Structure 1
Amino acid sequence: MEFRTKLTLFSLLLLSANASDNGLALTPQMGWNTWNHFGCGISEDTILSAANAIKQHELDKLGYNYVLMDDCWHAPARDPSTNAPVADPEKFPNGVKDLSDKIHAMGLKFGIYSSAGTKTCAGRFGSLGFEEIDAKTYAEWGVDYLKYDNCNNEGRAGTPLISYERYNNMSMALNATGRPILYSMCNWGEDGPWNFAPNIANSWRISGDIYDNFARYDDRCPCTSMLDCKLAGFHCAAARIIDFAAPVGQKAGTGHWNDLDMLEIGNGGMTHDEYVAHFTMWAILRSPLILGNDVTNMSNDTLSIITNQALIAVNQDPGTGPANRIWKKEVFTGDGDISLWQGSLQNNVFVVAVMNTSPHNQTVDILMEDAFLDQGAAYQAQPYEFFDLWQKDSNGNWGKSIGTVQGKFSVTVNTHGVKVWRAIPKPSNSRRAGEL
C-alpha cells in the first residue's frame, strides 16, 4: 500500500511537472493585498484607491505590481445557472472585469482570492469542486494572480498526497485557461507544501497567519517548528515565522518561493526596529513582498522602509535562493536569541545579516569562517567590503560602505533589530572597519 501511494504521487507529479512552469515569479512576487488592514471591509473604491496610491508613490517602479483583492469580494451565492463565481454587486457594482481593466490601464496587475474548500475563511463560497469554472471565469476577468486558501477543506488534508491532489486541481485548471496566472498557495504549511508545491505553484505559505507583532508567543500559533506541525494556527509573530522559514529555504528557487505571509509594516503593532527587521528578513529569505498596510495613508517612516531599494534588490536578485541561517544562539534561557544569516547573490556578491530577538541590545563577534561557511577556506580568509543596507551613502542611496572586514568583526544589534550588509570580495590591502 505504501509503495502504491508513493507511485501514485510520483505519477501525479510527472503529469503536472510543468503546471507551475508559467514564466511567472522568476523572482518573488511583489504587490499589495487588502486583508491585513481592511479584512472584509473592501470595495471597488478601496482597491482602486490603493492602486492609485501605488502609482502616486511610484511603488510599481520598485516592483510592487500586483494589486490583490482578498476574501469577501463574493456575492452571497454563485450564478444559479452556470455555477460561475459572482462578485458582491454592492461592493463591486461594475463587476470584477471592469475593476481588473481599470487596474491594468494603470500598468498594474490584478489578483483575486479563493479557498480550496467549500467556503473561504470568511464564509463565502469556496472553489472546492468548482476549480474549472472558477479558473475559467478568473481568466475571463483578466485575473493575473490567485491566492488560494485552505479553510473548510472538509478534511482533505493530513498527508502530502491528499493536499497535493486538492491544490493540483486548481493548478491544472489555471493552466488549462491559457492565461498566465500566478498561483499562490495558502495552505499554512500543512502537510509540508515545500515538498510538493514547487511542481504546481509559484509560491506557498509556510505557516499560520502572521499578525502585527514581532516576537510574542501566542497559543494560537502553537508549533515550535513547521516540519511536523499538526496545527498551523494563526497569530504567528514575525520572529516565529522566520524560525519556521529557516530550514525550508532549500526548497525555494526561480519560479517557486516560500511565502512567509504578507507584510505588516505600517499597521502599527511593531516598533521601527521591528519593522526594519521584518522587512529585512522577508527580503533576504526571498519571500514574496506583499504589502498589507493602507498604502493611501502612509507615514514617511513606513514609506522609507518599504522602499529600501538595496533590500528589494536582494529579494529580486535573479537566479539565487534564500539566505541560510548559519547559527542561532540563545541569549538567556527563554529570553530570545541572536542569529547569523548569509546568502549568495549574483556576481560573487553576498548578503550577511545578524538578527536579535531578545529584549536587550546584543554585541557579538562574527567570524568570517562562520559567515562564509558554505564557501570554504579561501572565502573565509579573504577581505570583504561591507555595505550597510540600512544606511544611505552620500548620494542618498541605501547601502553605505562601512569599510573592509577580514577575519572577524564585532556588531551591536538593537533589541528586536537586525543588521544587514552586502559583502563584496576585495583585495587584501584595503582598510578595515572597526565595530559595525
Structure 2
Amino acid sequence: MSMSFQAARLAFVAAIASLVRVNAVDNGLARTPQMGWNNWNAFACDVSEELLVQTADLIVGYGLRDLGYEYVVLDDCWSAGRNASNNNTLIPDPIKFPRGMSAVAEDMHVLDLKFGMYSDAGRYTCGMYEGSLGHETTDANTFASWGVDYLKYDNCYNEGYAGNQAISSERYRTMGDALNATGRPILYSLCNWGEDYPWNWGSTIANSWRMSGDIFDMWDKYDARCPCEGKDAWNCELPGFHCSITNIMNKVSFIVSKAQPGAWNDLDMLEVGNGGMTDDEYVAHFSMWSVAKSPLLIGADIRKILPQDLAILNNAAVIAVNQDPMGQSAGRRWMYETEENGPGAIQLWTGNLRSTTGGRWNDMVVLLINGKDRAIEMNATLIDIFSDVRPKGKPAQASMAWEVRDLWADRMSTEKAAAIIAAAKGNSTVPFNATAIAEGRFNTTQTSYADGLKSNSSILLGKVIGTVEPQGNIKATVPKHGAVMYRLRALPSDRNIDEL
C-alpha cells in the first residue's frame, strides 16, 4: 500500500469518525452546562471556610442562585495530607476548615446550593498538596461521604501518564468510575488543559473538559506562556497558561461539535469582575462563553463585585442561550481582517436554539464580535447566519423573514444592581434585594430555562429591535473589543416558505 493511499485512507477514516456522535457520560448531570462559582481566579490558595460561606450567602442574596449558579467550588490548597491510620484518607486543613468538609457541604445544601471540591490526577495537586493518582477509590468515597456534588480534577504532576489519548483517558476514567461507584451524583469536571485532545474521549468519562490552558484576565494580549495561535491552535502540545479571551475563543472554534448535553467544552472560569478588562470586553467574554455552551463558573470575588459586573452575570436572556435545551454550541461562520487570528479579527458566530415559535424552524443565536481597536459597523447576511444549514449557499432560512431580539438591550441598570449588592450585604434599610424584585427577574427554582423559553418569557427572549427580511442582513455598530448578541425567531408570514 502506498504512503499516499494510506494517508488518504486515514484521513477518510478520521473524517467519518468525526461525524459519529458518541453518547455522553450517563450520570444524569449537566444536561445543560453547569453554573456556579470557583475561588481560584480571585484567591488561588487563599481559601477558607469563611470565604465559602460568605460567598454562598451572597450568591443567594444577589439572586445568582435563582439564575442557575448553583455550584460553590473549592479549588486547590485545602488539604493537610493523608491519614495513614485511616486508609490514607485526605485530611482537610484544620485551620482553614475547622469544622471539616461535611459541615461546609451542609452549609451549601441548606442554601439550596451544591458543593464542589478539587483534586488532581497526579501525585500532587498544582499547589503541591496531595493528589489522587493511585488513591482514586479512597478519595471518591471520601468526597461522597462529605456530601460533595462536584469534582474538578486537575493534571499536575501526573507522573508521565500522558502523551496520548489512551493513557490520559484511562487515568481520568479511573476517577470517573470511582465517583460513579459511590452511588452519589457527583458532576465530574476534567481539567487537563486540552492535553491529549480530551474532546475526543471526555464525553464518555466526564461532564466537561478544559480545552485550553488557564485563562487570564485579558482580552487579546499575546503571552508566550500560552502558545498556539491561528489555524493549528487546536493541535497544541503545550497548553500553557495566561491565555487571553481571543486565544481561547480561537481554540474552541475548531471543536464546537464535540459539545453535547451532559458533556461540554470548558473554556475555563469567567473573568468578569476581576478588573482586568473593559465592560465591553467582559460583555463579549460572557457572550462568547454562553454561545459556546461553556460551563459558567464565576471566578471573581463577589464580595467586592461592581454593579456593572453583576449586571453582566445576571443577564437571563444571555444565560438562556447557554442553558438552551437543544444543547448545541454555536460555530464560527467567518473571521476577517486578521493575521492568523491576531487581535484585530472580526467574527460571526451563530448556532441553533430550540424553537420558541412553535413551528418547525429553530431559533438562531447571532454573535458579532469586534476585536479591532475601534468601533465598527458589522453586518451578516442571512446566508452567512445559516451557512451551516444544507444546502450550502442556499439555506431555506435565508428566504424567510426573522424577528430580531437584542439580548443585551434589557441589561440590568447599574443603579438596580448597586441596590441589590447593598441589600445583600446588609448595607441598606430598604428591602431591595434580588428575591424581592419581581420585575425583570427570572427564577430557575420556580421555572426552568426550558419551560421559560417554551412559555415565551420576555425576560429570556430579549428585546425586539426589528425584522430582517428574506435575503436580508443584520447590521450593527459593535464597540471596540465588544459584541452584539441577537436571538432570531422565525416570523409567520406568507413570505416564508413552508417546505425545505
TM-score of the two chains, using structure 2 as the length reference: 0.80
What is the rounded CA distance, in whole Å, between the counterparts of 1:117 and 1:330 in structure 2? 42
Tell me the amino acid that sits aligned with residue 305 of structure 2. Answer: M
The residue number in structure 2 matching 1:380 is 398
What is the rounded CA distance, in whole Å, between the counterparts of 2:343 and 2:155 in structure 1? 34
The residue number in structure 2 matching 1:277 is 284
1:272 deviates by: 0.2
Alignment root-mean-square deviation, CA: 1.8
The residue number in structure 2 matching 1:339 is 347
CA contact 1:114–1:148 (8 Å) conserved in 2:
yes
Q: Deviations over 1:27-54 (max 9, x none)?
A: 0000000111111111000000000001
What is the rounded CA distance, in whole Å, between the counterparts of 1:278 and 1:393 in structure 2? 15
Aligned mate of 1:233, from 195, 217, 240: 240
1:410 deviates by: 2.3
What is the rounded CA distance, in whole Å, between the counterparts of 2:338 and 2:107 in structure 1? 52
What is the rounded CA distance, in whole Å, between the counterparts of 1:342 and 1:374 in structure 2? 9
1:237 deviates by: 0.5
Is the deviation greater in 325-334 or in 410-419? 325-334
- The within-5 A match list for 1:22-101 is 22-75=27-80, 77-81=81-85, 82-101=87-106
Is 1:170 the counterpart of 2:175? The answer is yes
The residue number in structure 2 matching 1:8 is none
CA contact 1:206–1:226 (8 Å) conserved in 2:
no
Tell me the amino acid that sits aligned with residue 274 of structure 2. Answer: N
1:374 deviates by: 2.3
Q: Deviations over 1:366-390 (max 9, x none)?
A: 1111111123432012111110111
Percent pairwise identity: 51
- The within-5 A match list for 1:415-430 is 415-428=480-493
Tell me the amino acid that sits aligned with residue 98 of structure 1. Answer: A
What is the rounded CA distance, in whole Å, between the counterparts of 1:51 and 1:264 in structure 2? 18
The residue number in structure 1 matching 2:225 is 220
What is the rounded CA distance, in whole Å, between the counterparts of 1:273 and 1:408 in structure 2? 24
Task: Report the 3-state secondary structure (helix = DSSP H, G, I; strand = E; otherwise coil) of the residue aligned with 1:365.
Answer: strand
The residue number in structure 2 matching 1:408 is 473
- Shift in CA distance, 52/335, structure 1 to aligned 2, threshold 3 Å: closer
CA contact 2:234–2:252 (8 Å) conserved in 1:
no
CA contact 1:366–1:411 (8 Å) conserved in 2:
no
1:130 deviates by: 0.5
What is the rounded CA distance, in whole Å, between the counterparts of 2:131 and 2:55 in structure 1? 25
What is the rounded CA distance, in whole Å, between the counterparts of 1:307 and 1:261 in structure 2? 18
Task: Report the 3-state secondary structure (helix = DSSP H, G, I; strand = E; otherwise coil) of the residue aligned with 1:36.
Answer: helix
Task: Report the 3-state secondary structure (helix = DSSP H, G, I; strand = E; otherwise coil) of the residue aligned with 1:403.
Answer: strand
1:365 deviates by: 2.8
Tell me the amino acid that sits aligned with residue 248 of structure 1. Answer: I
Q: Deviations over 1:5-47 (max 9, x none)?
A: xxxxxxxxxxxx9892110000000000011111111100000
Is the deviation greater in 204-213 or in 333-342? 333-342
- Shift in CA distance, 73/332, structure 1 to aligned 2, threshold 3 Å: closer
What is the rounded CA distance, in whole Å, between the counterparts of 2:348 and 2:397 in structure 1? 17
Is the deviation greater in 367-376 or in 84-93? 367-376
- The within-5 A match list for 1:63-212 is 63-75=68-80, 77-81=81-85, 82-212=87-217
CA contact 2:150–2:188 (8 Å) conserved in 1:
yes
Tell me the amino acid that sits aligned with residue 418 of structure 1. Answer: A
What is the rounded CA distance, in whole Å, between the counterparts of 1:161 and 1:88 in structure 2? 35
Aligned mate of 1:391, from 387, 393, 409: 409
Higher relative contact order (CA 8 A, sep 6+): 2
1:227 deviates by: 2.6
- Shift in CA distance, 218/156, structure 1 to aligned 2, threshold 3 Å: same
CA contact 1:355–1:416 (8 Å) conserved in 2:
yes
- Shift in CA distance, 429/401, structure 1 to aligned 2, threshold 3 Å: farther
The residue number in structure 2 matching 1:295 is 302
What is the rounded CA distance, in whole Å, between the counterparts of 1:198 and 1:335 in structure 2? 32
1:362 deviates by: 2.2
What is the rounded CA distance, in whole Å, between the counterparts of 1:164 and 1:393 in structure 2? 41
Q: Deviations over 1:52-96 (max 9, x none)?
A: 001111211100000000001111x20112210111010001101
Task: Report the 3-state secondary structure (helix = DSSP H, G, I; strand = E; otherwise coil) of the residue aligned with 1:310.
Answer: helix
Tell me the amino acid that sits aligned with residue 339 of structure 1. Answer: Q
CA contact 2:151–2:186 (8 Å) conserved in 1:
yes
- The within-5 A match list for 1:294-373 is 294-331=301-338, 334=342, 336-347=344-355, 348-373=362-387
1:273 deviates by: 0.1
Task: Report the 3-state secondary structure (helix = DSSP H, G, I; strand = E; otherwise coil) of the residue aligned with 1:78.
Answer: strand
- Shift in CA distance, 19/355, structure 1 to aligned 2, threshold 3 Å: closer
CA contact 1:393–1:400 (8 Å) conserved in 2:
no
The residue number in structure 2 matching 1:255 is 262
Q: Deviations over 1:335-366 (max 9, x none)?
A: 51101111101112110111111212222331
Report runs of 4+ in structure 1 exceeding 4 Å deviation.
Answer: 331-335, 393-398
- Shift in CA distance, 68/140, structure 1 to aligned 2, threshold 3 Å: same
Structure 2 unmatched ranges of 5 or more: 1-21, 356-361, 413-438, 441-458, 496-500
TM-score of the two chains, using structure 1 as the length reference: 0.92
Structure 1 unmatched ranges of 5 or more: 1-16, 431-436
What is the rounded CA distance, in whole Å, between the counterparts of 1:226 and 1:187 in structure 2? 16
CA contact 2:246–2:343 (8 Å) conserved in 1:
no
Tell me the amino acid that sits aligned with residue 382 of structure 1. Answer: M
Task: Report the 3-state secondary structure (helix = DSSP H, G, I; strand = E; otherwise coil) of the residue aligned with 1:28.
Answer: coil
Tell me the amino acid that sits aligned with residue 404 of structure 1. Answer: T
